[in-house]
Structures are given as structure tokens and as C-alpha cells.
Amino acid sequence: MSDLIKLVNNWSITQFVHTFGGLFEESPWVAERAGLSRPFDSFEQMMKVMKNVVQASDDQVKFQLLRNHPDLGARISMSSNSVQEQAGAGLDSLSQEQYNELQQLNKAYTSQFGFPFILAVKGHTASSILESMRQRHRRGREEEFETALKEVFKIAGIRLEQWLAQIGHEHEFVSKRAAVQQRTMYYGKGDVWMYRSYAKPLTGIQSIPESPFMGRSNILFGLNIKVAVQGDEFLPSFAEGDNSLVVATDSMKNFILKHAADYTGATVEGFLALVSRRFLETYPQMSKVQMTADQIPFEDIPIGLEGSYRPSALVFRYSQNDRATAAVEAERSGDSIELSNHFSGVADLRLIKVKGSEFAGFMQDEYTTLPETRDRPLFIFLNINWRYEDPRDGMDDQRGRYVAAEQVRDLAAAVFHECRSASIQHLIYQIGRRLLSRFEQLSEVSFESNNRTWETVLEEVKEGEGKVFTEPRPPYGFQGFSMTRDDLGTDGRDSGKAGDV
């Protein structure tokens, strides 16, 4: 399994859909449903799962997917992927005669079949596209429906190949003859908001120099939970409409909320492990349960009491910035239940450093317009995920080996403060090394980062050393990276450049 697919397996569902939601035109639901089947062994398997998600949908959903595609050669607003693909086939520079014929064929085709003509245009010319439209217009509706779906799958595969090539991993995805795959079949409930008051406090946290965090009161313990269940026993509900073994998703919601009262631990991971195990213990028709959750941060409010300020034990501030995340997968193995996959994380961490970062020495060619900078502001969005060598360390707070998202957040900020980084890649490498050094119970750390640095408007103000900035232009850079304890064995790569901040 490559490092890149391992990183993708660790992403939050939001990041997964953000990255792959455009593979199928205006249909991010395909990526969202496929993302629940992680981990994937390869990008080829990921694409097969996405195809199975579409094939398992009813005909009306498939028709809507086809209707989401724009007419070829249409001079209308469409997705950026479609714009690039059609331009690559010369459809943005048709002669007036070709354009008129294409419009007539499009109109006749859509009138006959109820969806636009769809073709993976890579390798085609305007002439070959027109000829294909003339030929396919003569087919029956059922045959053309299946052909259009196959073209949709080709387009999605090409888009994935282009994404991999863009980040230098084109070898990760190799098209092969389709093999018979295990059926994709799951259902579940999302946006299960759970708020528990006076849960067990999180204590016994390992102290680290980079963070003052030593625990959480959990007077308010809030989660946004998503659950998906799998099992061969659910096939009759799909194939025959037989719901006799189907657990209603509303019942799943109530099941989760009911067990919130039974939970005696203090961590998100522990709660997910408890509930996923209880699902399998209660419903024998379920073979696998996948649960993810974002923790809802409630921050202390200082209240003036007896001449000093202390956190209120009654009033808290609801925060929607960075947040802890976790995922647990429970699966039957014979007569036992195993936790087959897990990760913890902190999502949507946003950090800006006003000076003390640089980006220089990068490759220069005829496409380069970016100047080298030796002292720049740097604004990053950061998702950090980690795995425990022993999953029990993340699920049982009494072992004293739990790594809190608040500590990871503070450690990342401390490394950002201390290091004069040569690039964001260099920065996340330093954060990863520090995390693995501080917490020997972790086996792996992974990152997804975005560069959102503001655009400089004025290099200086009338007085002082300030500058004036505005929001950056829409395109942004991103980085992905994963590290294991083997990276701690490298020599001479962990020292960030010292610099004034």
C-alpha cells in the first residue's frame, strides 16, 4: 500500500469529498458514499468502489448523474474539469459549421434519450466526436444508457489519473481489465448530533513542553457522528424490497444517543469503540460498522469571582474552528468482534505566522512567475491525523497514554513558531517528527495542508514595520505527507533553521 493511499484513507470525510467529489460531474455523493468503504488498498480499488456506488443506485439517480453533464461544445457555465476536457478536444475552437451541427446533434440526442450526449473526449478531435454522435444517435435507449454510464466511468478515471499526475503520483493508478469485485452495500445515518452533560473528565494526560493542556472537564461532551453498517443480510432490502432485517436509520440515531448515557469514558475514540461494538452485539445481521465523529469544541468562559477570573462551570462558548476528529471500524471475525481500523485527528487547524518563513531555491523555468521570498507571512490550513500502535491507548483514557487534539494543536503551533521553515513541506515534516518524538505510543502521523497565505497589497505602512494584505487569489497549493517511526531514524533532517520570530 502506497503512502499516498494511506494518507487518503486517513483523511476526514470532508477532505475526501472536497478532493474527489468532482470525479463524477456535479455528484459529490459518489465520493461521500465511497469514502465510507475506506481503507482502500489502491486508487484502482477506490475507483472500483465509486463505480459500484453508482451501479448500486436506482435508475433515477443514475439518470440524474447523466443529466448533470453539460452538452459537448456548449457555451455555458460548467465545471472546471469539463471546461479543460472539452478544450483539450478542441471543442472551444469549433468552426461555425461544426458548432451548428454539434448543437443540432446535441438537441436531437437529448430529446431522444432524456440526457445529454456523454463521451470521454480525451484523445478525440472535433471530427471524431461528431462522428461518434452520429453513430450513437441510432441506438436504442437502454443500450445508450449503459454506454453513457461507461463513458461517465471513463471520465472519472481520467480525472483521477490527472489528479495523481498533478501531484506526481501518476504511477499509483493503472487501468486494468475489470475484475469481479465484492459488492458495495452499506447504509447509515449522518449528522447525529450528540450532546452529553457531565461526562467523565479527561485527566492523566502526558505533559509535553509545547502545550499547557492537561485535561478537559467534559461538562459538555459534544459530537457530530456518522455511522455506516454493512452485511450480506441486507441484500434482500436492495434487491427485493424486503426490509425485515433492516434497522431503520432513525433507530440507529436513537441507538447512538441512548448509549451516550451509558458511556463511562472520556474520549471520542472510546465512545465510538463502545457504540460500534454494541451495534454488532445487538444486530447479528451487521458484519461491519464504521463510525466517524467530529468533536464539538466548547471553550471556557472566564468569569470574575472574588477578585480573580476563573472558568465558569456553567457557561461555555460554542466554537466551530479546529476540532478533534476520530474514526473507528468494528468487524466480525468468527465469534469475536475486532476493531479493524482507527485514527484520531485534529481538523481545520488554521495558523498564520506574520514573518519568519521562506520559500526559495525552487525550480525556475518558463512557467515560473512566483518570486523567491526570504521572509514571508504564511497562512496554512492543516489537518493532522495519527494512529496508535495499540488502539486501546486512544480508547481507554485510564491507560494514561491518550494524545489529546489540543496538545497536537499546541505542538504544531509551537513548531511553527520556532522553525524558520523553507517550505510548508519542511514545516509539516518538522511537526511530524516532533509528534512522534513526544508520543512514543503513536505509530503514524499524516498531514493534509493548504497554503492560504494572504496577498500583499502594501509592503510598508507610514509608521512601523507593518504591511497591508488582502485575501489570496482562489487557486491554492496543498501538500500531503505521512510519517512513521522509521522517519525518526534519519540523521540531520530534524533541525529547523533557527530564526527570529
Which amino acid is located at 399 in the chain?
R
Q: DSSP letter at 10?
A: H
Task: State the cell numbers at 461.
Answer: 505602512
Q: Rounded to 5 degrees, what angle do the CA atoms 155, 69, 183 make?
A: 55
69, 253, 288, 353: the catalytic one is: 69
Rg over alpha carbons for the chain, rounded to the nearest Å, is: 26
Catalytic residue among 18, 137, 169, 200: 200
Q: Which residues, 6+ apart, have CB-to-CB distance to 427 below 8 Å?
A: 357, 380, 415, 416, 419, 421
Is 453 one of the annotated active-site residues of the chain?
A: no
Q: How far apart are CA 156 and CA 136, in angstroms?
A: 21
| DSSP label at residue 398 | G
- Find where cell 457531565 sits: 198
Q: Which of 62, 189, 253, 342 is catalytic?
A: 189
Q: Are 187 and 234 in contact (CB under 8 A)?
A: yes
Q: Which of 14, 110, 203, 249 is catalytic?
A: 249
Q: Buried b / exposed e across 199-224, counting CB within 10 Å, b at 16+?
A: bbebeebeebebbebeebbbbbbbbb
DSSP 206: P
| 8 Å CB contact between 119 and 130 | no
Residues 226, 275: contact at Cβ < 8 Å? no
Active site residue 200: yes
**Cα–Cα dist 90/56, whole Å:** 35
Please state whether beta strands 298-305 and 308-318 pair in parallel, antiparallel, or not at all (unpaired): antiparallel
Distance CA 394, CA 264 (A): 15
CA distances from 101 to 109, 151, 232, 277 (A): 12, 22, 50, 61
**169 given a catalytic annotation:** no
Q: Rounded to whole angstroms, how far apart are CA atoms 33 and 11?
A: 14
Q: Is 288 a catalytic residue?
A: no
CA angle 315, 318, 322 (to 5 degrees): 140
- DSSP letters for 228-288: EEE-GGGHHHHHT---TTPPPHHHHHHHHHHHHTT-----HHHHHHHHHHHHHHH-TT--E
Instruction: In whole angstroms, give the CA distance from residue 7 to residue 392.
Output: 22
Name, in order, each residue with C-beta under 8 angstroms of 493's C-beta and a sequence gap of 6 or more: 429, 433
All three cell numbers of 229: 453498517
Catalytic residues: 69, 189, 200, 249
